[in-house]
Amino acid sequence: MRHPARTHRLLAATTGIVALGLLVAGCTPTGSNEPIGEPQDGGTLTYASGDAEPSCLDPHVGGNFPQALVSAQYLESLVSRDDAGQIIPWLAESWTPSGDALTWDFTLRDDVTFTDGTVFDAAAVQANIAHLQDPTTLSSTGYLALGKVASVEAVSPTVVRFTLSEPDSALLESLSQPWLAMESPTALERSQDENCASPVGTGPFIVESWVKQNAITLVRNDDYTSPPADAAHDGPAYLDEVIWRFIPDSASRYAALQSGEVDVIDNAQPDTIVQAEQSDSIDHLDSPRPGAANRIELNSGQAPFDDVRVREAFIRTANVDDAVSSLFQGTATRSYSALSSVEATAVSNAAVFDYDPAAAAELLDDAGWNETDADGYRVKDGVRLSVEFPVSTNQSIPAEQSVFEQIQATAKETGFEVKLAPLDLSSWYAALASNDYDAVSAPYTKVGPDVLRILYHSDSIVPAPSGYFANLAQVSDPEIDALLTTAARTTDADERRDLYTDAQNRILEGFYLLPLYDQQNHYLLRGDVVGLRTLPTVAVPTLYDAWLNR
Amino acid sequence: MIGRVAARLGGAVFVLWAVASITFFAVRLIPGDPAQAVLGGPGSQASPEALAMVRNEYGFDQPVLVQYLAQLGRLATGDLGRSYALNQDVGPLVLSQLGGTLLLAVLALALAWLLALALAAWSTRGGTVAARVGSGLETVAAALPHFWLATSLIVVFSIWLGVFPPVSTGGATGLVLPVLTLAIPLAGFLGQIMRESLLLALESPFVLSARSRGESERGVLWTHALRHASLPAISLSGWAFGSLISGAVVVETIFARPGLGRTLLNAVTLRDVPMVIGVVMIVAVVYILMTLLTDAATRLADPRLRLS
């Protein structure tokens, strides 16, 4: 997460040093090294995304990260989250849970209208929740997040009441996500095709046009009144227009940024980040995603990882630190936690993940894997110690795939045969659904620690009709289940934190997962783009405070 | 005449049926769940209810053979179906992307011909050094992979020299690098073939008799030998056009250019069967038309064929 104050001090210091260097060299500072003045109105910013082009601009439909990236410019949620992890007001001014935490009353702002002129009120919230819960909307992410919401009613035009089937400590975090943003109820009544092409929100920009495979054009909402509580200014955005493009190839995306054809790019890869950091005209914004850290899950539901000693041996034999520092070239920090470092409740325990091949060898001997075959792999009862590791080439960037190869190499020294299988997304889902894996890495973005329940509660081992299940480590521990279930029902902040701490310690010490680093989320921007920050909810950029220093 | 046209048409229909069938089974039999793709792909966890609805709506719960026959039935009526991933009709979507790719392919083919002709003419007449250099250039050009060439051109012309944009948004300057990327390797192929047949032609009796009639060297080359030498290259152009469309997959992705290639790549990764079949069918139609055109062009260039 980016801390604006700290960044500004850093920027000031950098500017000073650069200016001094140039003075010594007898040059005059130019371009981005000029002091930053008052924000300027106007201009067009071009954003180039490396993510897939969404098939629908309404994030209620489906609900993935590419939709969140662009919809954060024109849709807004009831609440947001600040840098410290506190939930803050947005379209809702305040909220009060009942004593039993089963009813929540949200007081809404009374001065907000959607960009089609429809008034934002309690009925609008009701219509949005109904839209998300309607099976024909085909919502995935939003639908799951509202699992405990039984009904929504308008108490008055500015008060909306959520009634829950059981207490949900993650309700506010869920509502802060861009997949549950508020759209004009008038616009939602149109056909899904129409609403996908031009969703209508309350945000600082308006979707003007969308030429498939080319660009989405957003224009400023001149009547904008509803920035989140942590925004840097009030009133309309500074930019006149935003062109949102899709450039799938990493090298072309960076070349377009270098040549000035685009102003901001996402999905910056380690090699381009290192190049950009040597450039005066390009700035780097590192904003890890919330929810789970990127990690390798060990399938404890079947041999060989059903034996905790084999799981521990695998973790002791994986030299992750060296792999991460060399392959990510210093752009990623090693994680020792199941959760992203942006989650205030994250428990980090480096001692659990020490690299110690000698200890690994002993553990394998203890576990009965004490013979070695001609190829140098451990054998038990005539079976080789093999680890099937399907890798999603859509989700694991090239540097991450190389990290897996390094782990494969170091694990071989202790006698593990790691079989990496690079697969496209559908084949990868199929491999997981048929339980055809021993190790796997799957990203999961969600606001708040409730992601632990999704990933490590035994309920999540039960496959959905699709065959997919989120508990890929297949953790089935009644104590962990109890801690996670209680935490999900506990609205007292301290008590909730303690429960999640206990649950995480038990998960980490069970050697179910090998954390790698936070879910990487790097943006590069030209030096004359000022004021761009990411929303601390799911770390998507907001262009509301951004302006062009040209 | 009517018999020949009927045979041609029958052949075309057979090719289209085969293309549709092979594509359907190739995409459909890879393990994976198209319902997941319909519901947003990476990062989104589809609810069981939504998956069940999608399965029912798109007929994924039917046996594969039933799905195949339904697909074929729709195609027979000219209906390319609805894209799983984009939730739009495939026909208009594919047609809207066709123009950009055709423009790219036609320009690349034209440029490849120009480069190949120039190189062949120069290297056959410029003595042994030119012959070696020409042959070397052709071999290297023909071996260049598109992705490498595209990235190198971006580094040189966009980043170092700053003359052409690295992203092809439309507009003439954006076309230069994608066209060069496709044309250079193809020029290598065509050049090799042209130079060989040009050398053969220059040694043949009709060239000797043209010379003895007092034809200038330039006249010998351009009106007699090159016409003869271009025949194999013309018949190769049909194939070349197909290879340009497949090259467009790489080039359109790297230069972020809208077109059929990029549409196809997205559709394949998402298991979007109607979309993949739609693109492949359109490409097959273009390919068939292109073969007809090269046949006609061969007839024009070779008077012997016109007599029979």
pLDDT, one tens digit per residue, over A271-303 is: 999 999 999 999 999 999 999 999 999 999 999
- pLDDT confidence bin for A35, thresholds 50/70/90: low
Q: Of A211, A248, A468, which is closest to B256 when you measure between CB atoms?
A: A248
Least reliable range by pLDDT among A258-272, A470-484, A488-502, B79-93: B79-93
Residues A447, A540, single domain; the answer is no
Residues A69, A97, single domain; the answer is yes
Q: Which residue has the higher pLDDT, A469 or A49?
A: A49
Please determine, for the modelled complex, whether the ipTM score is greater than 0.85: no
- Tell me the C-alpha to C-alpha distance, in Å, between residue A104 and each of A107, A152, A172, A253: 10, 10, 10, 45
Please report where in the chains the tokens 């996402």 appear, as a residue. Answer: A266
| Burial bucket for residue A19 (CB in 10 Å: 0-12, 13-18, 19+) | middle
Host domain of residue A544:
36-287+522-548
pLDDT, one tens digit per residue, over A445-490 is: 899 999 999 999 999 888 765 566 889 999 999 999 999 999 999 9
Mode of pairing for the β-strands spanning A417-423 and A386-392 = parallel
CB contact under 8 A, B51 and A464: yes
Distance of alpha carbon A43 from alpha carbon B75, whole angstroms: 48
- Amino acid found at B249: V
* Total tally of structural domains belonging to chain A: 3
- Best to test chain A binding among B27, B29, B33 (most A CBs inside 10 Å): B33
- Amino acid found at A308: V
Task: Find how far residue A135's CA is from the centre of its chain.
Answer: 25
From chain A, the residues in CB contact with B96 under 8 A are 212
Distance of alpha carbon A422 from alpha carbon A391, whole angstroms: 5
The encoded tokens of residue A206 equal 């308006």
Residues A245, A346, single domain; the answer is no
Over residues B162-191, the mean pLDDT reads: 88
The encoded tokens of residue A431 equal 């491999």
**Phi and psi (nearest 5°) for A364?**
-65, -40
- Whether residue B229 contacts residue B194, with contact meaning beta carbons closer than 8 Å, is answered with yes
Residues A257, A372, single domain; the answer is no
From chain B residues 101-130, the ones with a CB under 8 A of any chain A CB are none
- Whether residue B176 contacts residue B100, with contact meaning beta carbons closer than 8 Å, is answered with no
Mean confidence (pLDDT) of chain B: 84
- pLDDT confidence bin for A52, thresholds 50/70/90: confident
- Tell me the C-alpha to C-alpha distance, in Å, between residue A71 and each of A241, A444, A541, B106: 15, 19, 10, 38
- Whether residue B89 contacts residue B80, with contact meaning beta carbons closer than 8 Å, is answered with yes
CB contact under 8 A, A249 and B167: no
- Tell me the C-alpha to C-alpha distance, in Å, between residue A324 and each of A294, A403, A409: 12, 6, 14
Residues A144, A220, single domain; the answer is yes
- Whether residue A498 contacts residue A407, with contact meaning beta carbons closer than 8 Å, is answered with no
Sequence-distant (≥ 6) Cβ neighbours of residue B298 within 8 angstroms: B231, B234, B235, B305
Run of H or E residues at B118:
helix B90-125
Distance of alpha carbon A254 from alpha carbon A264, whole angstroms: 9
Run of H or E residues at A392:
strand A386-392
Closest Cα in chain A, distance from residue B7 (Å): 39
- Whether residue A534 contacts residue A544, with contact meaning beta carbons closer than 8 Å, is answered with no
Over residues B283-287, the mean pLDDT reads: 87
Residues A350, A498, single domain; the answer is yes
CB contact under 8 A, A213 and B258: yes
Strand partners, A47: A244, A264
Residues A46, A194, single domain; the answer is yes
Instruction: Give me the CATH number covering residue A156.
Output: 3.40.190.10
Angle ∠(B182,B183,B186) on CA atoms, nearest 5: 95
Inform me whether the pLDDT recorded for A21 exceeds 80: no
- Best to test chain A binding among B27, B28, B39 (most A CBs inside 10 Å): B39
- pLDDT confidence bin for A28, thresholds 50/70/90: very low
Residues A170, A211, single domain; the answer is yes
Least reliable range by pLDDT among A96-110, A525-539, B142-156: B142-156
Q: Which residue has the higher pLDDT, A275 or B268?
A: A275
From chain B, the residues in CB contact with A64 under 8 A are 40-44
Sequence-distant (≥ 6) Cβ neighbours of residue B9 within 8 angstroms: none
- CB of B86 within 8 Å of a chain A CB? The answer is yes
Q: Which residues of B206-223 are buried (b: 16+ CB within 10 A; e: fewer)?
A: ebeebeeeeeeeeebbee
Task: Find how far residue B230's CA is from the centre of its chain.
Answer: 20
pLDDT number for residue A94? 97
Residue % of chain A over a pLDDT of 70: 93
pLDDT number for residue A415? 95
Residues A212, A281, single domain; the answer is yes
Strand partners, A388: A419
pLDDT, one tens digit per residue, over A73-130 is: 999 999 999 999 999 999 999 999 999 999 999 999 999 999 999 999 999 999 999 9
Q: What is the 3-state secondary structure (H, E, C) of A405-423?
A: HHHHHHHHHHCCEEEEEEE
pLDDT number for residue B1? 63
Residues A499, A380, single domain; the answer is yes
- pLDDT confidence bin for A11, thresholds 50/70/90: very low
Q: Which residue has the higher pLDDT, B163 or B108?
A: B108
DSSP character at residue A221: -
A493-509 vs A478-489: helix crossing angle, rounded to 10? 160
pLDDT number for residue A463? 72
Largest CA distance in chain A: 76
Q: Which residue has the higher pLDDT, A161 or B273?
A: A161
Domains in chain B, ordered, with CATH? 2-85 (no CATH), 91-307 (1.10.3720.10)
CB contact under 8 A, A135 and B258: no
Query: Number of CB pairs < 8 Å for A and B?
Result: 172
From chain B, the residues in CB contact with A65 under 8 A are 42-43
Residues A273, A319, single domain; the answer is no
- Amino acid found at B286: V
Inform me whether the pLDDT recorded for A31 exceeds 50: no
| Burial bucket for residue A202 (CB in 10 Å: 0-12, 13-18, 19+) | buried
Instruction: Give me the CATH number covering residue A460.
Output: 3.10.105.10
- CB of B221 within 8 Å of a chain A CB? The answer is no
Residues A14, A58, single domain; the answer is no
